[in-house]
Structure 1
Amino acid sequence: MTPVPSSASRAASRAPSPATGAQPGSLVSVRPTVSPERLLADLVPPRHFDDARFATYRANPEHPSQGVTPARLEEVAAEIAAPPPSGLRALLGRRRPAPAVYMDGGFGVGKTHLLTSLAHAVTEAAGEGSAAYGTFVEYTNLVGALGFLPTVDALATRRLVCIDEFELDDPGDTVLMSRLLRELADRGVALAATSNTLPDALGEGRFAAEDFLREIQALAGRFEVLRVDGEDYRHRAVVTDAEPLPDAAVRAAVRAQPGAVLDDFEDLLAHLATVHPSRYGALLDGVELVALTGVRPVTRQEVALRLVVLVDRLYDRDVPVLLAGVDGAAQRTLFTPEMLQGGYRKKYFRALSRLGALAQEGRSLTDS
């Protein structure tokens, strides 16, 4: 099996950043190509969570589940990493099903931190390449690139497959992922997944859990549901509540930042339509800051969904953003009220939460 590089090594191998003061680059000018081998190699915890471990998770004592869940996951990690039985024990013993856990809870309670901690724990105990980690979308993109059976064969070499942000809003993709998980579980691969409860439904995570278990059908009995209760630890306004940045401040920050790119928002959205979402990560190779001018509300659903995928890849890589809006209103109304109330609302709320964190990092560059 080809060794899988860590996210840290991938970050170190990215293209060098341009010198400070140089003409900024542009995402619109990049036409990335991504091999199936890279798609597999990229299935590791994102750079944003390089240091995530069970010991660094800060449980809120007001929510006991935040202490119980990490302890249970440490037990799961030890079970996954344990060497398989050999000799007479292997012949006489009855093989136990591989663990399967599902973490349910709201935004910002640390589910992704815990999921990456599980992946890191298994990798550190069982060796590089023992755990695969990706978002729901990354796995569906992998199936699209490799085909279903080659994807099963590739992932079946791992002891653990982690799926972050399991999505239930596309029936076709949900059926595909359910079948993929069933094939992997039948081959003895351990599974771990997360999904989100909407902000206005905090404390009702059981509804998301019931949806998940219903959709995976044949596998439902194998999954252990772990609750992670609590409120968003960030306790900050999302990007839609931020004051807009003037163009001049954005352009000045870009000139001072190595590895910065500057694009018009509408140009970037048009460019994303020409790039497969599986390549959005490669689009950001070598990028240390993304600045956008002319940011305005997105009114078309397919355009908004592509933007969500880009925000996820930015967040994975800890790339700060700077947004200069049209008439100072865009950051407050990035997605329409209809979108925030519709079937894809979980994706949009997640994007706003993540974009808010990245925008706060970006704004600190303009203050320095």
Structure 2
Amino acid sequence: MAALPPTPAQTQSPWRRLFARALRRPNGAGGVIHDYFRHKAQDLGYTLSHSQLRVIDCMARQADDLTQSPGKAQSLYLYGAVGRGKSWLLDGFFRALPIAEKQRLHFHDFFAQLHHGMFRHQQQADALEATLDELLNQCRVLCFDEFHVHDIGDAMLITRLFKALFNRGITLLLTSNYAPEGLLPNPLYHARFKPVIELINGRMQVMEVGGPHDYRSQARSHDQQLFTQGHYVWPGTPAQRQALELPERHAAAAQLTVGARQLTVRQIQQRSIRFEFNDVCEQPTAVMDYLELSRHFDTWIIDELPELGECSIAAQQRFINLIDVLYDQDKRLLLIGQRPLHECLGGHAIDLARTRSRLGQLREIGPGPAHG
């Protein structure tokens, strides 16, 4: 049975040096936000859309309120189509905001930690509050990326979570592909989620991030390039596999312990791991498994990608969740299939548009010379 390798040390954000300086600036924390986005857009060659500029103005006002009048800071809910810069805006605000009591998490990651904590504290009178005490400590600003809800069980917990966060006076910033009314779209359950929708609309400023450009078609920032250094390889010929130092198809399997689960793995080399699609998407794996593995492996090889439209909705959703985690954790991805990528990404799972946009950043290598 394979063992997980050690986790590398985490580095601190270089923007911490702004904390002391920002409040001494004539234009305050809001000016720091404006300066950050102006310089970042210039460096990347971005032309910001009107809706992005409106969001940046709102974030600047938030930063001023957080540093000058903490009780006034309003939470913010950003939604819009894939690739319109929602995550980029959230990351920029988090980096530039000149306070220390802040956390930025992918919603998958936070929710996994929440479940673990509530299980540990199940004997306490309020397991949710005990877990939030542990996870958030002195946090004043909480940033969630890729907020979405498709499971009624999660929806009930999210209702309690949001009420608890607002009662604590925490300022929330969320990004989502969905307007609040589009969350938990399953008509069987949507009505039961309306209390959260009403809470969002009542306690948060809701803003759409639009514009004509898909920013994921442009290079990501210098410190977030591992995903875009990945490849999609088809049809995975012996020559291609030899060039990539991969074993032949259907390599012998080994078992890897991840939490309480045994996962089938095809290859481990230092901080690289290789699965076949069926190993992680046709089996009952979960987001918390991908998050745990992401702490130990920087390069992921997913072999035998099928045509998703021929897979179950459950398998499609696991694949979506896996790509979400790898993208957010900035892992390098090598994906191998039998057909061109666009022919493999059919299907009817709700969030596949986001997955198609993210995988579109991979360099595609087909028969003959590389292209992409």
Instruction: Work out the percentage of aligned pairs sharing the same amino acid.
Output: 25
> SS at 1:108's partner residue?
coil
Looking at structure 2, the residues matched to 350 and 186 of structure 1 have their Cα atoms a distance apart, in angstroms, of 32
Looking at structure 1, the residues matched to 342 and 297 of structure 2 have their Cα atoms a distance apart, in angstroms, of 26
Looking at structure 2, the residues matched to 268 and 104 of structure 1 have their Cα atoms a distance apart, in angstroms, of 29
1:18-45 CA-partner distances (Å, limit 9, x unpaired): xxxxxxxxxx9566999xxxxxx99x99
Structure 1, unaligned runs of 5 or more:
1-27, 35-40, 46-51, 85-95, 198-207
1:138–1:59 CA distance, 2 compared to 1 (3 A): same
The 10-residue stretch of structure 1 (57-66 or 148-157) with the greater mean CA deviation from structure 2: 57-66
- Per the alignment, residue 318 of structure 2 pairs with 306
Looking at structure 2, the residues matched to 171 and 277 of structure 1 have their Cα atoms a distance apart, in angstroms, of 17
2:148/2:176 contact within 8 Å kept: yes
Looking at structure 1, the residues matched to 288 and 6 of structure 2 have their Cα atoms a distance apart, in angstroms, of 10
Aligned mate of 2:51, from 65, 72, 82: 65
Written as runs of structure 1 = structure 2, the 5 A alignment for 1:34-183 is: 54=37, 55-57=39-41, 63-82=49-68, 96-122=71-97, 125-127=98-100, 130-147=101-118, 148-154=128-134, 155=136, 157-183=138-164
Bigger strand share: 2
Quick one: which amino acid aligns to residue 319 of structure 2? L
The 10-residue stretch of structure 1 (111-120 or 275-284) with the greater mean CA deviation from structure 2: 275-284
| RCO comparison, higher one (Cα < 8 Å, 6+) | 1
- Per the alignment, residue 267 of structure 1 pairs with 279
- Tell me the TM-score normalized by structure 2: 0.64
Aligned mate of 1:355, from 339, 356, 359: 359
Aligned mate of 1:345, from 328, 331, 350: 350
- Per the alignment, residue 223 of structure 1 pairs with 204
Quick one: which amino acid aligns to residue 236 of structure 2? P
1:350–1:187 CA distance, 2 compared to 1 (3 A): same
> SS at 1:168's partner residue?
coil
1:132–1:250 CA distance, 2 compared to 1 (3 A): farther
> SS at 2:274's partner residue?
strand
1:268–1:226 CA distance, 2 compared to 1 (3 A): closer
Looking at structure 1, the residues matched to 129 and 199 of structure 2 have their Cα atoms a distance apart, in angstroms, of 19
1:33–1:176 CA distance, 2 compared to 1 (3 A): farther
1:165/1:193 contact within 8 Å kept: yes
1:194–1:223 CA distance, 2 compared to 1 (3 A): same
The 10-residue stretch of structure 1 (157-166 or 225-234) with the greater mean CA deviation from structure 2: 225-234
> SS at 1:263's partner residue?
strand
Looking at structure 1, the residues matched to 52 and 3 of structure 2 have their Cα atoms a distance apart, in angstroms, of 42
Looking at structure 1, the residues matched to 45 and 208 of structure 2 have their Cα atoms a distance apart, in angstroms, of 13
2:83/2:214 contact within 8 Å kept: yes
> SS at 1:291's partner residue?
strand
- Tell me the TM-score normalized by structure 1: 0.65
1:251–1:296 CA distance, 2 compared to 1 (3 A): farther
> SS at 2:363's partner residue?
helix
1:188–1:349 CA distance, 2 compared to 1 (3 A): same
1:295 aligned to 2:305?
A: yes
1:167/1:174 contact within 8 Å kept: no
Quick one: which amino acid aligns to residue 246 of structure 1? G
Looking at structure 2, the residues matched to 284 and 302 of structure 1 have their Cα atoms a distance apart, in angstroms, of 21
Bigger helix share: 1
2:302/2:336 contact within 8 Å kept: yes
2:77/2:175 contact within 8 Å kept: yes
Quick one: which amino acid aligns to residue 209 of structure 2? V
Structure 2, unaligned runs of 5 or more:
14-32, 119-127, 184-192, 219-227, 247-268
1:201-229 CA-partner distances (Å, limit 9, x unpaired): xxxxxxx2444695432342221122211
The 10-residue stretch of structure 1 (259-268 or 218-227) with the greater mean CA deviation from structure 2: 259-268
RMSD between aligned alpha carbons?
Answer: 3.8
2:307/2:343 contact within 8 Å kept: yes
Shift of 1:310: 1.6
What is the aligned length? 285
1:264/1:293 contact within 8 Å kept: yes
Quick one: which amino acid aligns to residue 304 of structure 1? Q
> SS at 1:246's partner residue?
coil
> SS at 1:234's partner residue?
helix
Shift of 1:115: 0.9
> SS at 1:126's partner residue?
coil
1:105–1:61 CA distance, 2 compared to 1 (3 A): same
> SS at 2:215's partner residue?
coil
